[in-house]
Copies of this chain bind each other. A is one copy, B any other.
């Protein structure tokens, strides 16, 4: 492997230049005006897979944006097959005025590469074809077979990915999935995420009257739907931060004493964390630490609320309708459909008769957690140790990558989340960046992983 790492050191500029070329393409999947750019990015990914040594590459059309597939299947007999998943689409860059340099003109400042998609996920997925290329160009072979599944709809909820996977189980057959789309704890604290939360997202509509009313003429006659909405939403949690929806915690898998000990070992400073958020205080479900609350406990948040007048000054209106979007982050073994139903039932229960209430479920996804002693996760840990010089910690993240639950359920294979991002990368925000050093070390780790998975 000495020669693979030497090869990668020699090819740092080439890897960086290729990433920069990809980052120039504004492949914003949610914006129909960018459909051509999304396709252009797919074509780039396909060509790059071929340049990296894939013997077969395909651009597969879907009802939405294309999926790119590639494979190199010439490993020694008996070697496992690795499926790399990633995505080439990006979030919209707005608000534009907060970017120090334009989102699609990649710029390096103080060792950081600023561009939309630099960390999420162009600058992460691409380390894997680069790793394959390093093996092939150094040794003429790779210790494992490698398949690539790089989609263009992750940022819009991957509507066409699950159907594609279901139809192509044989084509995608593998022993382990590898995804780089998360972050490690810090530059000097390599870590591997082994758990993700699920999601149940709902929208509530409360109707009081057939039209907005003057709050002077009619105030006192009817229930104001905005007042009704806040009263309903206020009953969702108690003073200790527990969610009061009936049966909400029924299927929550309890943290074991061992897991709680592992959480305590993770480097985390509540006060530093609080300051980084600019919050007056941290707060959440009593009886759990901050790290436990944001990754191993379910939550309920209002993601949006609106009704009545939002402009300057005073408008004396009783709104006809008021709305809220709420979502729950879920943990194993909660079921997103079951939780959505329970929240709907609870909201119906606490809604007054004097207003009409509709609650619709918008979307959901399941939580996932993998045992840290699984051989694939241990291989990831060793790869990180070789690249970063330190043992990798195992962490859980609070967000959702629904495809991980899909691979678990449909293909019964483990997933290694070899995330090389950093916590301050600014995902979905202005000035998203990828640390350049992190990118190069991450590419090395990806190369070592292919070797470690062969053991």
Contact = CB atoms under 8 A, between A and B. Distances in A.
Nearest to A197: B216
A221 B303 contact: no
Nearest to A293: B220
A364 to B, nearest CB: 10
Contacts of A302: 224, 226-227, 230, 307-308, 319, 322
Contact of A216 (B229, B231, B317, B397): B397
A427 to B, nearest CB: 5
Contacts of A220: 284-285, 290, 293-295, 297, 299, 329, 398
A30 interface: yes
Interface stretch (A171-179, A205-213, A386-394, A404-412): A205-213
Interface residues of A, number: 100
Most chain B beta-carbon contacts within 10 A, residue among A199, A302, A362? A302
A3 to B, nearest CB: 37
B329 A325 contact: no
A429 interface: yes
B282 A354 contact: yes
A31 interface: yes
A157 B277 CA distance: 38
A224 B290 contact: no
A316 B273 CA distance: 20
Most chain B beta-carbon contacts within 10 A, residue among A183, A219, A224, A285? A219
A430 interface: yes
Given A222-B283, A299-B220, A230 B429 contact: no
B280 A354 contact: yes
A218 B197 CA distance: 12
A98 interface: yes
A114 B98 CA distance: 44
B325 A303 contact: no
Contacts of A399: 214, 216-217, 316
A326 to B, nearest CB: 9
Contacts of A325: 308-310, 314-315
A85 interface: no
A201 interface: yes
B216 A199 contact: yes
A318 B304 contact: no
A305 interface: yes
A221 B215 CA distance: 38
B281 A430 contact: no
A164 interface: no
Contacts of A234: 230-231, 233-235
8 contacts: A30-B311, A157-B314, A210-B279, A212-B428, A216-B399, A222-B282, A280-B353, A310-B325
A-B CB proximity, top 5 nearest: A216-B399, A210-B278, A234-B234, A220-B293, A304-B308
Given A199-B216, A220-B299, A280-B355, 10 more contacts: A156-B313, A211-B426, A215-B303, A216-B397, A217-B398, A227-B302, A230-B233, A303-B319, A309-B325, A310-B323
